[in-house]
Amino acid sequence: MTRSEEPLLARPTSPNSSNEENIEEEDALLTGQSTHRGPNKFARWREIGIFVWALIATVAVIILAVVYQHESSIQRHRTGGWGSDGRPTGKRNMIFMVSDGMGPTSLAMTRNFRQHASGLPIDEVLVLDRHHIGSSRTRSTSSLITDSAAGATAFSCGFKSYNGAISVLPDHTPCGTVLEAAKRAGYMTGLVVTTRITDATPACFAAHANRREYEDLIAEQMIGNYPLGRVVDIMIGGGRCHFLPNTTEGSCRGDGTDVVAMAKDKFDFSYIDNKKDFDNLDARGGVKLPLLALLANTDIPYEIDRVHVSDTYPSEAEMAEVALKALSAATKESDKGFFLMIEGSRIDHAGHGNDPAAQVHEVLAHDKAFAAVLKFLEEDNTEGVLVSTSDHETGGLAAARQLHETYPMYRWYPEVLANASHSGEYLSAQWHKFLDSSSTLSQKDKQDKLADLLTSGLGVVDYTQEEIDAIINAKPIWPPSYLFADMVSRRAQIGWSTHGHSAVDVNIYASHPDHAPGLVGNHENTRVGEFIAEYLDLDLEPITEELKSKGVKTSGGEQGDQEWGEWMGPHGLPINENGLLVHIDEYHGDFKHRKREAEFGVDCGCGMRH
Ligand SMILES: *[C@@H]1O[C@H](CO)[C@@H](O)[C@H](O)[C@H]1NC(C)=O
Ligand SMILES: *[C@@H]1O[C@H](CO)[C@@H](O)[C@H](O)[C@H]1NC(C)=O
Ligand SMILES: [Zn+2]
């Protein structure tokens, strides 16, 4: 017999199967053939055993097949509110999720990390991975690299605008948003974020400002103190400091306006400001709308830090679930559903901080929130659609990094991220607290403290003297938070090309491709805004006209004299003779720019442009 004619399962006797009988048994298990051995008193029992084993295996295979079938057909049995004529029909809900700053590499890095950390096989992908339907091109009118304001204006109005624009067009006129139009059309509306509720992404849905930095103004508009009145039914997130008068501890307002009092008295909001009241919403008779829940003074901590204080701050998924339940209950008797925007806001911040450990946990938290929304859509009586995308990528993230002149090994090390239990931001705060605790700290005190922080917070035990010295001597322009995060990135061999945003296309996800047919493939980001309006059958033009018409001085009437001309704040950017924003849509001349920006002084981090 030649080698190629050997039976497939023939093999030489190995130390592990030292006799004929074992080989036969193994072959029987593999081939399902009987072993043809003579009767002995255990044979019957063995046959029964094999039968039971086969039965269990078959049942297991069927169960796995059902589970897999279920997973791969998520949402397929729901129409998503689409009629047989290819048009949306009937009562329906739209949930729009934004993963701020999450580019394609964030997904690969997080998927790799999760498989490593949880010991999962390579086909155990993220929930988002199974719902990828397309990609979005993100440039703004003022730059090839957008910021979150121009990015969210594309989603809210369906128009490109300049970086920094809060639902305002390049000619500094307001554009009606999908949330405003949805409210007018009879839908209920909500915003859920993990950063300040006045930050660019949520602001673009329910406010209009010439610059994103006008967060005090944006806070007032979002509760209803602007031409359209109140348009949001539920807001959950951080950013309390912009709602408290400057006479109050924890305020970051520039004036004495009490926006919380205004929300309660003038616009009938119920207000909560802590996790305990958030957890007790059900016990207190359910969510009373409109609800303003400001659960952090500024940002909700990164997920990697939040899990240590989960009794103080809720997760993105927990906030999403409360909003979904409240909006579903509030629209139960209505023939119109709701529009809810949910943002995983701080994926972007982890990108700005070049902090890969913080980022993978942010992406996982967003993935969990995405799964929670899918579950809601599966179970709710009303049809609905989930669409999720990013406004842009942040950090120029690469899941590879060449550290030496020698040609690199093809590796990156998720175990380094798995070792970290805190973010660079958290460690930096701890470090500053320590520095402020005494004016007589010795060099040794500082080194010991850093050794402790690096070991306990990052799981980095092989720190060098240079790294310790760099943190002790850090300058504000390159702060300790960057240095902590860089220690993790280098060890993990994760690369970053910027502390800002990048121009790469970002992914689009949906509950099912059939639920968002207009977003399958590669699109300008404005297509996302257009899709939301089409799905909810909204006309944004009358809202735009109303906003513009109220941009003039009115006299008398119920509200007395009002000067709406300045209601969106000063322009803040140069306008050319045609009344258009001066574009910088040509080669920017990096070195010249850096010099000009340096004249404005070092950024304190408080007004960082995200
Ligand atoms: C608080 O705001 C008022 C204006 O409303 C201003 O006059 C005052 O200087 C502010 N106080 C502080 C401490 O910023
Ligand atoms: C993780 O931390 C442990 C100590 O807690 C350390 O011994 C180990 O080397 C670290 N692993 C990596 C990959 O940094
Ligand atoms: Zn950003």
Tell me, rounded to whole angstroms, the distance of Cα 187 from its chain centroid: 24
**How far apart are alpha carbons 97 and 19 in whole angstroms?**
62
What one-character-per-residue DSSP string does 412-431 give?
A: --HHHHHH--S-HHHHHHHH
For 531-568, what is each residue's pLDDT tens digit? 999 999 999 999 999 998 886 544 444 555 444 457 89
Domain edge (last residue) among 549, 564, 586: 549
* Weakly modelled stretches of the chain, pLDDT under 70: 1-46, 48-52, 56-76, 551-565, 572-609
Our count of domains for the chain comes to 2
Same domain, 377 and 350: yes
Same domain, 445 and 465: yes
Ligand nearest to the Cα of 456, by number: 2
3-state secondary structure of 103: coil
**How far apart are alpha carbons 387 and 375 in whole angstroms?**
14
Q: Which residues are catalytic?
A: 148
Backbone angles phi, psi at 573, to 5 degrees: -135, 150
Residue given tokens 């460690």 in the structure block:
427
- Predicted pLDDT of residue 172: 87
Same domain, 141 and 271: yes
Task: Identify whether 334 is part of a domain.
Answer: yes
Closest atom of ligand 2 to CA, residue 460? 14
Binding residues for Zn(2+): 100, 348, 352, 391-392, 501
Give me the half-sphere count of Cα atoms (radius 13 Å) on the Cβ side of residue 256. 1
Same domain, 512 and 455: no
DSSP conformational letter for 287? P
CB atoms within 10 A of CB 527: 20
Identify which of 310, 325, 315, 373 has the alpha carbon closest to the alpha carbon of residue 345: 315
Same domain, 479 and 520: no
Give me the half-sphere count of Cα atoms (radius 13 Å) on the Cβ side of residue 580. 7
- Predicted pLDDT of residue 25: 43
Task: Identify whether 194 is part of a domain.
Answer: yes
Identify which of 418, 399, 419 has the alpha carbon closest to the alpha carbon of residue 408: 399
Q: What residues line ligand 2, using a CB cutoff of 6 Å?
A: 415-416, 419, 459, 461
Give, in degrees to the nearest 5, the angle at Cα 182 between 80 and 343.
70
Determine whether 28 is exposed, middle or buried from the number of CB atoms within 10 Å of its CB (0-12, 13-18, 19+): middle
Q: What residues line ligand 1, using a CB cutoff of 6 Å?
A: 246, 255-256
Identify which of 525, 545, 540 has the alpha carbon closest to the alpha carbon of residue 161: 525
Could you tell me how many residues make up the chain?
610
Backbone angles phi, psi at 456, to 5 degrees: -80, -35
Give just the sign of the alpha carbon dihedral 182, 186, 192, 197: positive
CB atoms within 10 A of CB 363: 25
The two structure tokens encoding residue 339: 């529009």
Residue given tokens 């010099």 in the structure block:
595
CB 292 within 8 A of CB 263: yes
302 φ/ψ sector (left φ>0, alpha ψ -120 to 50, else beta): beta
Same domain, 292 and 323: yes
Tell me, rounded to whole angstroms, the distance of Cα 548 from its chain centroid: 32
Identify which of 502, 319, 389 has the alpha carbon closest to the alpha carbon of residue 152: 389
CB atoms within 10 A of CB 162: 26
Which residue among 220, 244, 255, 259 is best mutated to probe the pocket of ligand 1, counting the most ligand atoms within 8 A of its Cβ?
255
Which residue among 217, 220, 241, 246 is best mutated to probe the pocket of ligand 1, counting the most ligand atoms within 8 A of its Cβ?
246
- Predicted pLDDT of residue 5: 43
**How far apart are alpha carbons 105 and 351 in whole angstroms?**
11
Centre of ligand 1 to C-alpha 603, Å, is 23
Same domain, 121 and 245: yes
CB 536 within 8 A of CB 186: no
CB 225 within 8 A of CB 292: no
CB 149 within 8 A of CB 170: no
Same domain, 288 and 422: no
Domain edge (last residue) among 477, 493, 509: 493
Same domain, 433 and 538: no
Task: Identify whether 120 is part of a domain.
Answer: yes
**How far apart are alpha carbons 370 and 131 in whole angstroms?**
10
Helix (H) or strand (E) holding 523: strand 521-524
Range of the domain at 129: 96-399+497-549
- Taking each helix axis as running N to C, give the angle between helix 480-492 and helix 424-436, from 0 to 180 degrees, rounded to the nearest 10: 140
Domain edge (last residue) among 460, 478, 493: 493
The two structure tokens encoding residue 286: 């359910």
Same domain, 317 and 461: no
**How far apart are alpha carbons 294 and 311 in whole angstroms?**
15
- Predicted pLDDT of residue 594: 53
Task: Identify whether 30 is part of a domain.
Answer: no
CB 378 within 8 A of CB 93: no
Task: Identify whether 573 is part of a domain.
Answer: no
Radius of gyration of the chain (CA): 29
Task: Identify whether 128 is part of a domain.
Answer: yes
Task: Identify whether 165 is part of a domain.
Answer: yes
For ligand 1, atom 4, which residue shows the shortest CA distance? 255
Task: Identify whether 288 is part of a domain.
Answer: yes
Centre of ligand 1 to C-alpha 256, Å, is 6
Same domain, 436 and 387: no
Same domain, 103 and 188: yes
Q: What is the CATH number of the domain that holds 324?
A: 3.40.720.10
